């Protein structure tokens, strides 16, 4: 049984993240953050949160994961009216400054958590990042903030092992590709499949020295809180404990919510809080509680704030969400098939996940 205790939780939020402006009707719009800010106002009257101001990332930091040519191309959009980088990914006059602040905010939060000033934190940034590849934007994403955070922790803070967990409904192709040959970063993703971007099958396991450190669990639509919890406890927990990360980072997308227009999953705010609690327990056992989340997807503004509020409440120790409801018989079979397939692919790399 987990004993509730107050934790030093930080949040990065800044109105300048609203300066990345997309076209009317675009799912990734400033209103997403406004709904989060509104939901957190009441919570901040109940609990103590440390508000961390983002700094501008240095070009050398961003070039840890993105090519200089790509960074120059992004910089060239500053001050210009809407530029289309892909059919669904755009910049506005303030976008370049916004991505610098988002990347710098991620690095700043990680530095505070690794130093012990904070126990954990949530970076409420936009635009999202996990689809961004080394040389190009993709899927609303310009700079891969979570990948940058992992590399920043490795290069500047001296950490040897970082675990990235991606629970967004879409596969984090950019994050996977950046680290697919790097055994110092484990990438673990649960995602709806088939779905955009079409990557993330079981057999994508990394390459060369990174083989086995990319773990993908593609899932059919319709799964919810109980199924995600079972996958976390059955697959992620033993893998993470064997990997022994010194920091856990999360691509926290909320488009697996049952009312999200771009997904087909059935998660609820309680479910996201439960996944957060599971990660907190892993972090307590492996890395002195070091856990940092970065906002990714989530495109229903009416529920996005509730999801983030539930997660922040969990991070702060105000709640302890233990999900005990078992999956339905139908969904138990789907989860069992996913676990069996994952174990079959990865059993030669990890002792703790033998069938």
Residues belonging to the active site? 131
Cβ contact 263:192 at 8 Å: yes
- Going by their DSSP bridges, the two strands 247-252 and 162-166 should be labelled as parallel
Cβ contact 118:8 at 8 Å: yes
Residue 99 to residues 75, 144, 334, Cα–Cα distance (Å): 10, 9, 38
What is Dmax (Cα atoms) for the chain?
55
Before 68, cis peptide (omega within 30)? Answer: no
Cβ contact 264:221 at 8 Å: yes
Q: Pick from 105, 120, 8: which is nearest to 52 by CA?
A: 105
Rg (CA), the chain: 19
Residues 6+ apart with CB under 8 A from 276: 293, 311, 314, 315, 321
Other CB atoms within a 10 A radius of the CB of residue 323 amount to: 21
Q: How far apart are CA 249 and CA 267, in angstroms?
A: 20
Residue 95 to residues 16, 45, 103, 259, Cα–Cα distance (Å): 10, 31, 12, 28
Cβ contact 250:297 at 8 Å: no
Facing residues of 162 across strands?
Answer: 185, 247
Cβ contact 289:120 at 8 Å: yes
Q: How far apart are CA 49 and CA 52, in angstroms?
A: 9
Residue 5 to residues 57, 173, 217, 282, Cα–Cα distance (Å): 33, 36, 33, 16
Q: How far apart are CA 132 and CA 21, in angstroms?
A: 18
Degrees to nearest 5, angle at CA 35 with 11 and 152: 30
């Amino acid at each position: 049984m987990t004993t509730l205790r107050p934790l030093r939780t930080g949040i990065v939020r800044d109105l300048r993240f609203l300066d990345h402006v997309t076209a009317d009707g675009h799912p990734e719009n400033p209103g997403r953050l406004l709904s989060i800010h509104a939901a957190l106002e009441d919570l901040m009257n109940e609990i103590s949160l440390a508000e961390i101001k983002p700094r501008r990332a240095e070009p050398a930091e961003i070039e840890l994961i993105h090519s200089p040519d790509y960074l120059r191309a992004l910089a060239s959009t500053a001050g210009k009216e809407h530029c289309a980088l892909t059919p669904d990914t755009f910049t506005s006059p303030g976008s370049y400054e916004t991505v610098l602040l988002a990347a710098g905010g991620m690095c700043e939060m990680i530095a505070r958590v690794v130093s012990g000033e904070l126990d954990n934190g949530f970076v409420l940034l936009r635009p999202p990042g996990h689809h961004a590849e080394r040389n190009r934007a993709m899927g609303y994403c310009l700079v891969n903030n979570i990948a940058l955070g992992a590399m920043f922790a490795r290069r500047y803070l001296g950490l040897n092992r970082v675990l990235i967990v991606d629970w967004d409904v879409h596969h984090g192709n950019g994050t996977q590709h950046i680290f697919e040959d790097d055994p110092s970063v484990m990438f673990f993703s649960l995602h709806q499949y088939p779905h955009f971007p079409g990557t993330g099958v079981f057999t994508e396991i990394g390459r060369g020295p990174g083989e086995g450190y990319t773990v993908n669990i593609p899932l059919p639509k319709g799964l919810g809180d109980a199924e995600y919890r079972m996958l976390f406890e059955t697959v992620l927990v033993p893998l993470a404990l064997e990997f022994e990360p010194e920091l856990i980072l999360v691509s926290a997308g909320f488009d697996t919510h049952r009312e999200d227009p771009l997904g087909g999953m059935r998660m609820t705010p309680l479910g996201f809080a439960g996944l957060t609690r599971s990660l907190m327990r892993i972090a307590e056992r492996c890395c002195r509680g070091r856990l940092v989340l970065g906002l990714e997807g989530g495109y229903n503004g009416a529920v996005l704030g509730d999801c983030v509020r539930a997660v922040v409440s969990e991070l702060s120790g105000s709640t302890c969400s233990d999900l005990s409801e078992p999956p339905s018989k139908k969904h138990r079979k789907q989860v069992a098939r996913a676990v069996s397939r994952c174990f079959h692919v990865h059993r030669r790399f990890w002792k703790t996940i033998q069938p």
